[in-house]
Amino acid sequence: MPVERAPGRARSPHRLGAHLVGDGVDFAVHASRAEQVVLCLLDDAPDGTLTERRYLLRGPVAGVWHGHVPRVRAGQRYGFRVHGLWDPASGLVHNPAKLLLDPYARALSGAGDLHPAIYAHAVDDALAPVDARATPSDLDSAPYVAHGVVVDDGFDGAVPPPRVPWSKTVLYEAHVRGLTMRLPGVPAELRGTYAGLAHPVTIAHLKRLGVTTVELLPIHAKLAEPFLTAKALTNYWGYNTLGFFAPEPTYATRAAQDAGPHAVLAEVKGMVALLHSAGLEVVLDVVYNHTCEGGADGPTLSLRGLDNTGYYLHDGAHPANLVDVTGTGNSLDFRRTRVVQLTLDSLRYWATEIGIDGFRFDLAVTMGRNGAEFTPYHPFLVAMATDPVLAETKLITEPWDLGPGGWRTGQFPAPMADWNDRFRGAVRNFWLADAGAQSKGFPGRDLRELATRMSGSADLFGLGEVPGGRGPLASVNFVTAHDGFTLADLVAYDHKHNEANLEGNRDGSDDNRSWNHGVEGEVLRDSPFAVVLPLRRRSMRNILGTLLFSAGTPMLTAGDEIGRTQHGNNNAYCQDNVISWIDWRMMPWRQDLLDTVSYLLMLRREHPVLRPARFSSGRPAAGDDVPDLAWFDLRGEPMAAHQWHDPHHRVLQMLRSGRPAGDGDALVILNGSLDQCEVALPTGRGRDYELVWDSAWERPQFSRASSESEPMSMLASPGESVELEALSMRLYLTRP
C-alpha cells in the first residue's frame, strides 16, 4: 500500500493527539524506539472493507512523530502503524501489521474483536503464543480493533460546577448502566445510558436522597479481558481501560451511537451539564495504573505497540518481563515522563473539556512508585497536587495496590483524600463480625479501633507536610463499595456466592466480616426464619448511622439506600445483568430504609457538629467549657483505660461539642451487645438532650422528608437513664 509523506509539520509537535488546525488536522504520537510511524486514515469501501490512506509522519522530536494533513475533518477515523525492531527479549514488539489506537484519541469507532490478529506475536487457535512470542504476527489487525476518531471539542451547553466543599460532600458511588437499567420513569431507550443518568427521575432520586457528588465507575473506553469474552461474560465494572480520553461508547443511547462518536461525546458532556444544573458534582473512577493490553501474552492495541518499554513497568534485568503490581498483567511506569504526561493531560481534558469535578484513582499506589518503592513525593503526585486545574478538583485515592508495601492509607499528600479501608473494617467488625461472634458465645474486639475511626482517623490522616495533617475530611469513610457485598448482603450472607462468575466461587474476597444473623441468604416474609428480617434491617441502619455520624467524608454505594442485593455475589465485576443492576421495586421496608437514609443525610447536612473539619483534641476549644470530643461508658462516666481494652465492653457514648461549629452538641450512643441495656446520659454542659434518631425505628419518627408536622419532643436530662435495644444506636442533639 502506498505511503505518502505527511504534507506538513504539526503546528506544535508536543501537543499529542489529533487536533483540528486550519485546513486540516495535526497528528502527533509518542513512540521513542520507533524507526518509522505511519498515520492511517480509515474509511469504509462500498463493499464494506476498510480503505487506508497512509502518511509517513515526521520526526522524531524527543520521541514524538507528527504531521499535518489537510482536508481532514471531524469524524475521520485513524490509527498508527509503527515500524521498528522486533526483539521481544528486549521488550521491543514493533509490528506494522498492527493498527494502533492513539492514546490521546478522544472518541472511538468500533468495539474491537477477540481475534488472532490483535496480537503482535503469532498465536494458535486458542490465542496462546507460538514460539514463546518470538514470531511476529503478519495478520492485519485493522478490521478487528477500535479506531480513533477526530472530534471537534466545541460544546455550548456547559454549566459551571457546583463546587461543593468537602465539609458538605456526600459521595454516591454508581455505575452508569446499573443505576438506571431498571429505574421506573426513565424511558426504555435511555436506561443504562449517560442520558438516563441525567434524566429528571434519576436526578430527583439523588436530590431527595441528599447526596452531593456522584462517583461513577469507570467510563473511559474499555475492552473485556479475553478470558471473560471466551465465557460470554464482560468486564461490567470497566477497570480495563483502552483509551484514557475517549468515553465508553456503549453507555450512550442507541441514537447517539448510531449518530457517531461526536454524538456520544455530546451525550457525556450533556450528562455532566444536567447534573451540574441540579447542583450535583460528578467524580470519575479512573484507572491509570494499567491498561487492557494485559500481560506479555496479551493483545497489542496501543501503548504496547507504540513504546512497550517506555510505557509499562518492566524487570530491568529481564526487559521481556512485565512487573505486575496491579494484578492485571501490566502496570504503567510512572517513572517515565510520557506516562506522567499522558495521565495529567487526560485528567485536565476531562476536567476542562468535559466538566468533571474530581477523580477517584484506582490502585493509586502504582502511580506513586519509583519502580518498586512508593513515595508520597513522587513527581506525578506532586504535579497533580500543584496543578492549578487539578488542585481545584476532588482528588480521591484508592490507597493501595498489589505490589510490595502496597497498603498506604493516609499516606498521600494534600489535597488528596483516601478511601479509608480501616473505617470499613472497624464498622463491619463492631456491628456484624463481633455481634456474630457473640451470638456463638465468643467475645468480639475492643472499642479502640471503632472510636479512632469514628473520630476521623487522626492516626492515619493527622500527619504530613500540612500542620495537623489533612484533617478528617480527607478520610473517605465507607462500609460498602462496588467490590464486596452490598449492604443488604452484608447482613444476609456469611459466605460469598460467586458461582455466576464461572470461576468455581474462588474469586472475590473471603474477608467479608459479615453476619447472616443465623440464616444464610435471602429470607421471605412468610418463611419460618422471617424473625431475622427486622434484625437485619436494624443492622443496616446501625451501619448507615455510624457512617453518617462519623468524622470524615461519607460514601454510599448506589442501591444500599433501598437494600439492593447481589444475591451474595461479592465480586460482580463481570455481571452486566440483574445481579448488578439496581432493583428499584419499592416494598414497604425499602421505602422505610430510603426515608431513613434521607433523614440521616438531612441531619448531617443541617448540623455541622456531625461533620467536623478538624481533628478533636479531647480538650475544650477556645471559648468552650467542655471537651471538643469525649467518650463515656454506659454509666455516663468517662471511659476508663481498662474499658478500652475490654472486648466485653460493648456500649460506647461519643459526645461532640458543637460550639466550634456554631451548633449544638451531638451525643451518639452505640449498644453493640446482644441485650437491651440502660444507659445513663453524660452530664455534658447540663442541657437536655433531644432524641432525634434511634436505629430501632424502622423509619424516622419525625422527618421533614416524610412529614410536614412539627417534630415531636423526645427530651432527656443529663444523668437520666434511657433504655437502648440490643444492637442499636441513637443520636441526641442539644440546642446551640
Domain boundaries, the chain: 3-149, 166-606, 617-733
| CB environment 46-70: b (16+ within 10 A), e (fewer) | eeeeeebbebbbbbbeebbbbbbbe
pLDDT of residue 441: 94
Task: Give the CA distances from residue 491 to residues 148, 344, 480, 487, 535, in Å, rounded to whole numbers and listed in that order.
Answer: 46, 41, 12, 7, 9
Radius of gyration of the chain (CA): 28
pLDDT of residue 711: 47
Q: Which amino acid is at 229?
A: T
Task: Give the CA distances from residue 277 to residues 175, 200, 202, 496, 594, in Å, rounded to whole numbers and listed in that order.
Answer: 20, 11, 13, 40, 24
546 C-beta neighbours (distance < 10 Å), count: 24
Q: Which range among 15-29, 375-389, 706-720 shows the weakest confidence by mean pLDDT? A: 706-720
Helix (H) or strand (E) segment spanning residue 212:
none
Rounded to an integer, the average pLDDT of 236-249 is 98
Residue 590, pLDDT above cutoff 90:
yes
Catalytic residue status for 152: no
pLDDT of residue 468: 64
Rounded to an integer, the average pLDDT of 18-43 is 97
Residue 1, pLDDT above cutoff 80:
no
pTM (whole model) above 0.85: yes
Residue 477, pLDDT above cutoff 50:
yes
Give the bridge partners for 148, in sequence order.
78, 108
Which residues are CB-contacts of 717 (< 8 A; sequence separation ≥ 6)? 681, 688, 689
pLDDT of residue 6: 81
pLDDT of residue 3: 85
Residue 562, pLDDT above cutoff 90:
yes
Q: Which of 52, 173, 285, 362 is catalytic?
A: 362
Residue 32, pLDDT above cutoff 90:
yes
3-state secondary structure 395-424: EEECCECCCCCCECCCCCCCCCEEEEHHHH
Domain 166-606 shares a fold with domain 617-733? no
In this prediction, residue 162 has a pLDDT band, given cuts at 50, 70 and 90, of very high
Q: Which amino acid is at 159?
A: V
Report d(CA 453, CA 426) in Å as an integer: 7
pLDDT of residue 463: 82
In this prediction, residue 466 has a pLDDT band, given cuts at 50, 70 and 90, of low
Rounded to an integer, the average pLDDT of 596-615 is 98
Rounded to an integer, the average pLDDT of 614-630 is 94
The architecture CATH gives domain 166-606 = Alpha-Beta Barrel (3.20)
Helix (H) or strand (E) segment spanning residue 51:
strand 50-56
Residue 177, pLDDT above cutoff 50:
yes
pLDDT of residue 713: 53
CB 494 within 8 A of CB 536: no
pLDDT of residue 467: 64
Residue 95, φ and ψ in degrees, nearest 5: -150, 105
Rounded to an integer, the average pLDDT of 503-513 is 97
CB 639 within 8 A of CB 670: no
Nearest to 489, CA basis, from 579, 588, 419: 579
Mean pLDDT of all residues in the chain?
95
Nearest to 564, CA basis, from 439, 572, 511: 572
Residue 139, pLDDT above cutoff 70:
yes
Which residues are CB-contacts of 97 (< 8 A; sequence separation ≥ 6)? 81, 117, 136, 137, 138, 139, 140, 141
pLDDT of residue 704: 40
Look at residue 610 and give its three-state secondary structure.
helix
3-state secondary structure 448-464: HHHHHHHCCCHHHHCCC
Look at the block and give the residue holding cell 416494598. 587
CB 339 within 8 A of CB 291: no
The architecture CATH gives domain 3-149 = Sandwich (2.60)
Report d(CA 398, CA 417) in Å as an integer: 9
Rounded to an integer, the average pLDDT of 429-450 is 96
CB 105 within 8 A of CB 77: no
Higher pLDDT: 704 or 461? It is 461
Distance of CA 115 to the CA centre of its chain: 31
Residue 107, pLDDT above cutoff 60:
yes
| Percent of the chain at pLDDT exceeding 70 | 98
Nearest to 324, CA basis, from 339, 314, 316, 311: 314
* pLDDT one-digit tens code per residue, 33-79: 999 999 999 999 998 889 999 999 999 999 999 999 999 999 999 99
Task: Give the CA distances from residue 566 to residues 463, 579, 584, in Å, rounded to whole numbers and listed in that order.
Answer: 38, 5, 13
Report d(CA 181, CA 584) in Å as an integer: 10
- CATH code for the structural domain at 617-733: 2.60.40.1180
Which residues are CB-contacts of 172 (< 8 A; sequence separation ≥ 6)? 206, 209, 211, 213, 214, 215, 555, 556, 557, 558
Q: Which of 102, 173, 307, 398 is catalytic?
A: 398
Distance of CA 208 to the CA centre of its chain: 22
Catalytic residue status for 26: no
* pLDDT one-digit tens code per residue, 690-720: 999 999 999 998 644 444 444 445 899 999 9
Which residues are CB-contacts of 309 (< 8 A; sequence separation ≥ 6)? 33, 90, 91, 92, 319
Task: Give the CA distances from residue 721 to residues 350, 681, 689, 733, in Å, rounded to whole numbers and listed in that order.
Answer: 55, 6, 12, 16
